[in-house]
Amino acid sequence: MIRVCVQRESFAPGALLEELEAVGGGGVASFTGIVRGEGDLVELMLEHHPAMTASAMREIADRAAQRWPLLGVILVHRYGALVPGDRIVFVGVAARHRAAALESCAFLIDWLKTRAPFWKRERFADGRTRWIEPRAEDDRAAARWEV
């Protein structure tokens, strides 16, 4: 089971975890990303191209399922205007064993961060805005999964 969602609405991590637990594996691993409020950030705007983003996320999920023996994958990524404290991304996997669950979860968030086509613009309390540029440390984290 692979499910990929790109949505404006918030999500309930607990419900998603229960769905993964129901597939009957021995381990479920997850990551929930939260919008940080550093530097007086008041809004994070995420833009995307719907078909391109969903396709890229599906390819990333498929790659994880080919590499690890997964029973379930759920990827949720939000777009639109988000504020500090909002949930922005959920990565969840179910597998028979913990190593596959933990490793694939780390792979998925690393690759989503660097390969899913989202454009992010920050807006600050003083009115400044800036586009978020790719970070070298994110690229290094994703590169460790290259085979």
Per-residue pLDDT band for 61 (boundaries 50, 70, 90) equals: very high
Which of 96, 56, 103, 98 lies closest to 72, judged by CA? Answer: 96
Work out the average pLDDT over 81-101: 97
Residue 91: Cβ within 10 Å count: 27
Q: Model's pTM, two decimal places? A: 0.94
User: Which pLDDT score, from 0 to 100, does residue 134 have?
Assistant: 83
pLDDT (tens digit per residue) in 47-57 = 999 899 999 99
Per-residue pLDDT band for 146 (boundaries 50, 70, 90) equals: confident
Look at the block and give the residue holding tokens 């759920």. 74
Mean pLDDT computed over every residue of the chain: 95
Check if the beta carbon of residue 80 is closer than 8 Å to that of residue 86: no
